[in-house]
Each structure stands twice: as C-alpha cells, then as structure tokens.
Amino acid sequence: MDLFRKCFQWKDWKTAQQFGYYPYFTPIESEAGPIVEINGERKIMLGSNNYMGLTNHPEVKQAASDAVLKYGSGCTGSRFLNGTLDIHVELEESLAAWLGKEAALVFSTGFFVNQGVISALVSSDDVIISDRLNHASIVEGSKLAAGETIRYKHNDMEDLERILQKVPDTTGKFIVTDGIFSGEGTVANVRGIVELAKKYGARVMVDEAHSVGVYGSEGRGIADEQGQLDATDLYMATFSKSFGGVGGFVAGPYEVIMWIKHKARPMIFSASLPPASVAGVRKALDLIREGDDRRAKLIANADRMRTGLQEIGFDIGNSASQIIPLQVGEDLKCVKFWRALFKAGVFTNAFIHPATPPNGALIRTSYMPTHTDEMLDEALDLLQRVGKKHKVIR
C-alpha cells in the first residue's frame, strides 16, 4: 500500500479553504504589533503571544542586528560541537542568575526543551505525572521518555495526590505542569504541587512559557508569583512569547543541567540558536526585568477585556491571565465564528479538536501592553456584534 495514500485522501483542509473557513497559516504583512496588516487590510491583533510587546522594541532589534554583523547569520552546527558562542554562555549565566538557579541551558526552540529535558531525565523505572491540559511539547517529551506517563485532572490537587499515593517509593517521580495553560488561560496551583512533591518525594518542572515576563518579581513567572521559585526543581520557558524571539531554556541544579546538556537529543543533534536570536533575547531579558509598567498595563488590559467579555455574555471559562478563551463548542461553529471575526477586522486563534476535547472548540484571544483602550473598545464592539450574529454569546 502507498504510504502517501492517507495524504491524498485527506480533504478536510481543502474543503475548509473552498468554503473560506480555513483559519491557519495566514500570512501577516507587517510587524507583530497590536495592529497588523493582512491582504492590505487592518486587523486588531488578538492572537499574538507578544505579551510584553518587545518583538518590535528598537533596542531588541538593534541588538539582533549588531549580532548578525559580528557573528553572521548562523552557527553552522550544534551547541554540542561547534555551535556554542560566547553570547550563548553569557545568556545562560544571565538567566540562571535572574532566577536564582545554579545553571541554565538554551535550546533552539521551546518545544525542544520539553522534548529534551523529559526524555533525558525519565528512565524506564521512573514515572511522569502530567496535568491533562499540558502543552503538546510536554506530551511529546513524555512519549519519547522511557518511563510511564500518568495524567491528573486539570489543576486538581486531590487527583494528583491520589496518583502520588499509588506510585511506589522506589520509583522516580517527575511532576510536570504548565504555569499558565495556553488555551484556557488558567493558572497552575504551583504551591499545591510543590507541597505534594515534598510529601511524596517527587521532582517538579514548571513550564513558564506563557507566564515568564508577565508575572512575579521582575517577570520571573507564576512559580515566583506564588512564592515557589526556589522550591521548583526545574524552570522551563520559551523565548518566543514575552522575549519576542525564538528558542527556549531550562534552569536548575548544575549537575542536572550538565546531564541534560549531554543526554538531550534535541540539544545534541540540532543547530544552535542563531546569534541574532541570542542577542535579541539577552536585550529583552534586561527590558523584562525593568518592565513593571509594561506588566501593569498588560494585566490592566487583560482585566478590562475579561470584564468586558463577561458583561457582553461570552463564556470565558476560568481564565485568570492575559489569555482569554471564548467558548464556542462545535468545531464548524468555531471556524465560522473565527472567519466572521477576521472579516470584521479582528485576528484571533481557532482551537478545535483534537487541540480541544470534542465539542470543546474555542476562540483564543490574548493581549499585549501595546493595545490601547481605543483598540480594545473597538475589539469588544466587533466581538459583541459578531458573537450575537453567530449565537456564541449566551
């Protein structure tokens, strides 16, 4: 049988494109700001992870430009061999010092961090205990690991303890959770997780991808916000959101980082982060640490939208962050709603099955400190009009 047969038979994408409901791979023709241009049309951007608005910051762009002129466009190899520059090491030292960890390690993508760390640490006689709503990169890292994966109910500490009670004391236990969950906008109970980890002898890693830069002292994330940064064994985050770049890192005990550095296949067998990205992230770190005004504005914008969306009648679930979902339900209804919003001038993200449970489709909105009150009021008006028309509002 032809291996490609399933590819030729799969028509979902073609049908969606023919009817104008295909919500993915939309080319943007402008910088990643609160307003973008698509096909020459203005759109209010409510679908970006540029949480601190640093992608376009002149100092970040200048740092990236300077690095290209000094080092060139790439490193021509992996970190393991010829691809480590002095600026990689400087960035890692800065990240570790910022978080109060012994060491840090930079990967070329955040996805690779979770793949590499989990698969490198978890052996056949260990177990991964993972929140059911964890990001796909955690899921993929768990699949690559030799040990068993057990998933607990989302943010449910009773269910987590139930699972921990059943794991033998002789088994290594690794609890992994998102800090902020990327679709739902809910916040992990890191304090509760750490307490249970101490009680049952487990290690903890928090994926701070959507919380770094936004929460905690100097933007250190949710674990810091809840007073658990020191008690968290491993800290993981990406550079593709608040840092406005690409890549990711893990921070923790020196010996553990050295193990990961020599055992994580995505680290050893992929090209290292390009100089421009490293330099841009390093400058973004300085701006994040000094960014209390940006954080305050972002949180104010998110609170404004959460209140406004609820008053209009949208179901936003249990969102408590800058990520606010609009619950829709059926997949087709969701993509039709997305398309209508897009035509009206609002760029959002459509999450449908299997990214959500069956009949759990949602429109994901997210916010930046660079959104003005006028932009948000305009967006609320458009969301209300389109939501009523498509019967998404209660």
Any idea which residues carry the catalytic annotation?
182, 210, 241
Q: CA neighbours within 13 Å on the CB side: how many for 9?
A: 5
Q: What is the dihedral of CA 330, 35, 19, 21, to 10 degrees?
A: -20
Residue type, 310: Q
d(C-alpha 291, C-alpha 215), whole Å: 11
Which one-letter amino acid corresponds to residue 81?
A: L
The β-bridge partners of 204 are 175
Rounded CA-CA distance 39/249 in Å is: 35
Q: What share of the chain is helix, strand, coil (3-state, %, to 5)?
A: 45, 20, 40
Task: Provide the 3-class DSSP secondary structure of residue 321.
Answer: coil
Instruction: In whole angstroms, give the CA distance from residue 105 to residue 91.
Output: 9
Q: Which residues contact 259 (CB under 8 A, 6 or more apart)?
A: 120, 121
Backbone angles phi, psi at 160, to 5 degrees: -60, -45
Query: What secondary structure letter does DSSP report for 21?
Result: -
